């Protein structure tokens, strides 16, 4: 039965990936389970979004997930990566995204979450990750995405947030983590998405950045994140979503990229890895499936390149049912 | 520091250590019926149960400091443990030089971890300008193993901006580029130095010497994307100088004459033409020669020919080059 399903999906082992996601955290004595403990909220977001893209979110017990998510919230309004962990903006966005997947944003005290996120904006417009003050354009995206989902963008200084991001723009058209930091596809996604969500894409030199992004495609069809680095499935998401937001996705060879992602599947036990024949993990499984969704692979729900949520979820947030 | 005493092999369980006998461990709460149950190793579970106990009691003591070291050895990504460690360090008024040594040990095997770098910065910030040399050395050590290490570069840039130490930075970039001329991080750092170092006079003053350096680098490896972008960056905000500088168009022609690894040379020539460069006869001849050696139909419009050639020699980006062609101003 599984075989015929694989055939039907034309190469994507969807059933296997679903099984992989549903059992991933149950493995005993696994080093990965230890290092995952503190970022379980992000793990939940990667796994659950993948299930949703594969139209299998209904296999999960909503109430259990929601009650666990809410146990990770702190008095400050921010969420920790797991129960008993300190709040951080990273896990606050993951928590909001997970609740959005299940149409459960109504369980949130929106003002409380908003106050937490808005409170992390600095004088120069940048955002810190938590009270300890690490600054990174990743956090600018997270803050903007989170508040946009909650319809509370008006609670931060958007103009300053945008000008900080623009100050991180480099000579190649890309963006780094702080002003002067090297362009990196992951940071570029964060900056392009943040500019997109605030209606500020005019700050981007789309042709220059688009060319840099399409130069990331290597002979195997995969994408790297910086010049002269190895390709990695996660960049299927970071590079592709950026190209879509600046309307330049047709500049890469889509067929070759699809083939590269499919080559990174574990056809036996499910899951997707960074490169062919490497060990799979949830992170790369999510980015592989999300990348295929952006490439309009049949049988997958469409994903929104800026919110990193299925398009129907985003539509529900902004246009009601 | 203390962490060395607790090597996993000879680890004595906390419940058997007399100094912990007064503490009741607090187990992990995954909720009543966890959706995503995680099975952890017993040593990890025990350490975290004791950590939770002192964290909840907010015990800022030296045994708490030792315990955070143990918890970090299991999972250096656990940011809550790092946070608590900082609170303890502040309370105990410990010599932070020791803390740098502690991070050195952890970082050697876990350098891709955000928490370590953030913690390192917190310590360095407290130590002030005295820490600059040590921090530059530390990042150098990490970069000697992985010269494109994003966190290490990010930390290094912060050290330079916040604590100083710019004196040898351009030399350091040169060293790294001698080792690997394809290292985009080192090219980025070079740009960072020439545009931001308080000891230099800024981009325009550096342009002449930097152009010569970059031209040499390109001639050695014309397929190297980084110096081509760097070269363009040297004329930031001054496109006219870039178009008019004969060194740039000459460089393109020299590479094109070799008839190999010429994609970036040709795309640079295309950019120059699009910005108003009047092609010399030599340029026309060189491009015609490339057409002859390929399957491309000659075209009277030079920019169009260039696009045709690029489309054929760089097929994975054929759509990009076709788009460039469609955007060309009509031939005169």
The distance in angstroms from the start CA to the end CA of chain B is 75
The distance in angstroms from the start CA to the end CA of chain A is 35
Q: Which CATH architecture has domain A3-319?
A: Alpha/alpha barrel (1.50)
Round the average pLDDT of chain A to a whole number and report it: 93
Residue B5: what pLDDT? 43
| Shortest Cα–Cα distance, B17 to chain A (Å) | 23
For the stretch A214-252, pLDDT in tens is 999 999 999 999 999 999 999 999 999 999 999 999 999
Taking only residues 123 to 162 of chain B, the set having a beta carbon closer than 8 angstroms to any beta carbon of chain A reads: 148, 150, 153-154, 157-158
Residue B292: what pLDDT? 72
**Nearest-Cα residue of chain A relative to residue B122:** A132
Segment B139-146 shows an average pLDDT of: 95
Phi then psi for A80, rounded to 5 degrees? -90, 170
Q: Are A158 and A194 in contact (CB under 8 A)?
A: no
Segment A179-203 shows an average pLDDT of: 98
Token pair for B143: 């970069």
B11 — pLDDT class (breaks 50, 70, 90) = confident
Least confidently predicted of A21-35, A190-204, B185-199, B215-229? A21-35
Q: Are B25 and A67 in contact (CB under 8 A)?
A: no
Phi then psi for B190, rounded to 5 degrees? -60, -45
CB-neighbour burial class of residue B38 (10 A; exposed 0-12, middle 13-18, buried 19+): buried
Segment B226-249 shows an average pLDDT of: 96
Residue A3: what pLDDT? 43
Question: Of A206, A203, A167, A170, nearest to B236 (Cα)?
Answer: A170
Q: Which of B154, B183, B230 sits opposite A181 (nearest CB)?
A: B154
Residue A24: what pLDDT? 77
Segment B70-97 shows an average pLDDT of: 92
| Residue B200 CB partners (closer than 8 Å, separation 6+) | B170, B193, B194, B206
Name the strand (E) or helix (H) holding A241.
helix A234-245
Confidence check: pLDDT of B37 > 60: no
Name the strand (E) or helix (H) holding B43.
helix B42-56
Residue B294: what pLDDT? 58
DSSP letters for A68-117: HHHHTB-TTS-BBSSTTSPB-HHHHHHHHHHHHHTT-GGGS-HHHHHHHH
For the stretch A247-276, pLDDT in tens is 999 999 999 999 999 999 999 999 999 999
Token pair for A86: 């300190």
Reported in sequence order, the residue ranges of chain A that DSSP labels E, i.e. its strands, are none
Residue A214, CA distances (Å) to A203, A205, A272, B189 in order: 19, 14, 23, 23
B112 in active site:
yes
Confidence check: pLDDT of B264 > 60: yes
Q: Are A97 and A103 in contact (CB under 8 A)?
A: no
Q: What is the DSSP letter of A178?
A: S
Chain A positions touching B75 (Cβ under 8 A) are 34-35, 37-38
Beta bridge partners of A310: A303
Residue B265: what pLDDT? 98
> How far apart are alpha carbons A287 and B47 in whole angstroms?
33
Chain A positions touching B148 (Cβ under 8 A) are 226, 228-229
For the stretch A67-109, pLDDT in tens is 999 999 999 999 999 988 999 999 999 999 999 999 999 999 9
Chain A positions touching B185 (Cβ under 8 A) are 182, 226
For the stretch A34-63, pLDDT in tens is 667 788 999 999 999 999 999 999 998 899
Residue B42: what pLDDT? 85
Residue B115: what pLDDT? 87
Q: Are B223 and B255 in contact (CB under 8 A)?
A: no
CA dihedral B99, B100, B101, B107 (to 10 degrees): 110
Taking only residues 293 to 332 of chain B, the set having a beta carbon closer than 8 angstroms to any beta carbon of chain A reads: 316-320, 323
Segment B269-288 shows an average pLDDT of: 95
Residue A290: what pLDDT? 98
Beta bridge partners of A265: A272
Segment B24-41 shows an average pLDDT of: 67
Q: What is the DSSP letter of B41?
A: -
CB-neighbour burial class of residue B43 (10 A; exposed 0-12, middle 13-18, buried 19+): middle
Q: Which of B74, B192, B225 sits opposite A34 (nearest CB)?
A: B74
Residue B15, CA distances (Å) to A70, A116, A252, B47, B52 in order: 32, 38, 58, 10, 14
CB-neighbour burial class of residue B320 (10 A; exposed 0-12, middle 13-18, buried 19+): buried
Residue B122, CA distances (Å) to A201, B117, B127 in order: 34, 9, 9
Core vs surface per residue B156-168: b (16+ CB within 10 A) or e: bbbbbebbebbee
| Shortest Cα–Cα distance, B193 to chain A (Å) | 9
A7 — pLDDT class (breaks 50, 70, 90) = very low
User: Residue B164, CB half-sphere, CA atoms under 13 Å: how many?
Assistant: 6
| Max CA pair span of chain A | 58
Residue A49: what pLDDT? 97
> How far apart are alpha carbons A183 and A40 in whole angstroms?
28
Token pair for A315: 């539509």
Residue B3: what pLDDT? 44
Establish, for the pair of chains A and B, how many residue pairs have beta carbons separated by less than 8 Å.
153
> How far apart are alpha carbons B257 and A199 in whole angstroms?
46
Q: Are A204 and A173 in contact (CB under 8 A)?
A: yes
Domain ranges of chain A: 3-319
Token pair for B223: 């397929």
Q: Tell me if A251 and B320 make a contact (CB, 8 A cut-off).
A: yes
Round the average pLDDT of chain B to a whole number and report it: 91
Q: Are A284 and A231 in contact (CB under 8 A)?
A: no
Least confidently predicted of A35-44, A104-113, B26-35, B281-290? B26-35
Taking only residues 231 to 290 of chain B, the set having a beta carbon closer than 8 angstroms to any beta carbon of chain A reads: 232-233, 236
ipTM of the complex: 0.91
> How far apart are alpha carbons A254 and A38 in whole angstroms?
36
| Residue A277 CB partners (closer than 8 Å, separation 6+) | none
Residue B246: what pLDDT? 96
Residue B296: what pLDDT? 56
Q: Name the pTM for this structure.
A: 0.91
| Shortest Cα–Cα distance, A19 to chain B (Å) | 13
Residue A2: what pLDDT? 44
> How far apart are alpha carbons B47 and B54 in whole angstroms?
11
Segment B213-229 shows an average pLDDT of: 98
Residues in chain A, how many? Answer: 321
| Residue A74 CB partners (closer than 8 Å, separation 6+) | A80, A86, A87
> How far apart are alpha carbons B115 and B77 in whole angstroms?
6
User: Residue B31, CB half-sphere, CA atoms under 13 Å: how many?
Assistant: 18
B332 — pLDDT class (breaks 50, 70, 90) = very low
Percent of chain B with pLDDT over 90: 79
């Amino acid at each position: 039965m599984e075989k015929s399903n694989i055939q039907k999906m034309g190469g994507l082992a969807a059933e296997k990936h679903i099984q992989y996601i549903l059992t991933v955290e149950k493995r005993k004595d696994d080093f990965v389970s230890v290092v995952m403990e503190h970022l379980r909220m992000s793990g939940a977001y990667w796994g659950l979004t993948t299930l949703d893209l594969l139209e299998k979110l209904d296999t999960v017990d909503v109430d259990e997930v929601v009650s666990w998510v809410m146990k990770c919230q702190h008095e400050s309004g921010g969420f920790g990566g797991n129960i008993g962990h300190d709040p951080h903006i990273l896990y606050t966005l993951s928590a909001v995204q997970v609740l959005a997947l299940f149409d459960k944003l109504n369980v949130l005290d929106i003002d409380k979450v908003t106050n937490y996120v808005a409170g992390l904006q600095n004088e120069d417009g940048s955002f810190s990750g938590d009270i300890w003050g690490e600054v990174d354009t990743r956090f600018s995206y997270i803050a903007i995405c989170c508040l946009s989902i909650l319809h509370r963008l008006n609670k931060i200084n958007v103009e300053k947030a945008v000008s900080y991001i623009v100050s991180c723009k480099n000579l190649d058209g890309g963006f780094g983590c702080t002003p002067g930091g090297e362009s990196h596809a992951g940071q570029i996604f964060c900056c392009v998405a943040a500019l997109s969500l605030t209606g500020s894409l005019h700050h981007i030199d789309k042709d220059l950045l688009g060319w840099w992004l399409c130069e990331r495609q290597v002979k195997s069809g995969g994408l790297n994140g910086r010049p002269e680095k190895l390709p990695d499935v996660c960049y299927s998401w970071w590079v592709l979503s950026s190209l879509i937001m600046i309307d330049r996705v047709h500049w890469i060879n889509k067929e070759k990229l699809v083939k590269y992602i499919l080559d990174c599947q574990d056809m036996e036990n499910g899951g997707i890895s960074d490169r062919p024949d490497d060990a799979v993990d949830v992170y790369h499984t999510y980015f592989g499936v999300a990348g295929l969704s952006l490439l309009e692979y049949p049988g997958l729900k469409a994903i929104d390149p800026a919110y990193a949520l299925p398009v129907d979820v985003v539509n529900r947030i902004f246009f009601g049912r | 520091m203390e962490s060395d005493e607790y090597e996993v092999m000879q680890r004595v369980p906390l419940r058997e250590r007399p100094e912990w006998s007064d503490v009741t461990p607090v187990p992990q709460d995954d909720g009543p019926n966890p959706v995503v149950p995680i099975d952890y190793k017993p040593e990890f579970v025990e350490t975290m149960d004791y950590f939770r106990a002192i964290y909840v009691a907010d015990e800022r003591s030296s045994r708490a400091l030792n315990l955070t070291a143990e918890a970090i050895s299991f999972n250096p990504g656990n940011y809550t443990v790092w946070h608590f460690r900082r609170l303890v360090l502040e309370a105990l008024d410990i010599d932070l030089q020791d803390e740098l040594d502690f991070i050195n040990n952890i970082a050697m095997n876990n350098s891709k971890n955000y928490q370590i770098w953030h913690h390192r910065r917190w310590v360095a910030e407290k130590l002030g300008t005295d820490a600059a040399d040590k921090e530059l050395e530390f990042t150098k050590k990490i970069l000697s193993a992985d010269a494109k290490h994003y966190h290490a570069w990010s930390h290094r840039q912060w050290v330079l901006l916040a604590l100083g130490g710019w004196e040898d930075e351009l030399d350091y970039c040169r060293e790294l580029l001698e080792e690997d001329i394809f290292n985009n991080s080192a090219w980025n750092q070079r740009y960072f130095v020439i545009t931001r170092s308080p000891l230099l006079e800024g981009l325009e003053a550096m342009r002449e010497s930097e152009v010569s350096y970059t031209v040499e680098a390109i001639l050695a490896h014309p397929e190297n994307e980084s110096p081509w972008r760097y070269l363009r960056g040297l004329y930031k905000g001054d496109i006219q100088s870039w178009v008019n500088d004969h060194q740039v168009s000459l460089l393109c022609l020299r590479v094109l004459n070799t008839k190999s690894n010429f994609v970036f040379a040709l795309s640079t020539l295309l950019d120059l033409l699009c910005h108003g460069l009047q092609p010399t006869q030599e340029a026309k001849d060189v491009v015609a020669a490339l057409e002859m050696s390929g399957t491309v139909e000659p075209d009277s419009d030079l920019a169009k020919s260039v696009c045709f050639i690029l489309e054929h020699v760089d097929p994975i980006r054929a759509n990009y080059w076709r788009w460039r062609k469609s955007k060309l101003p009509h031939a005169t």
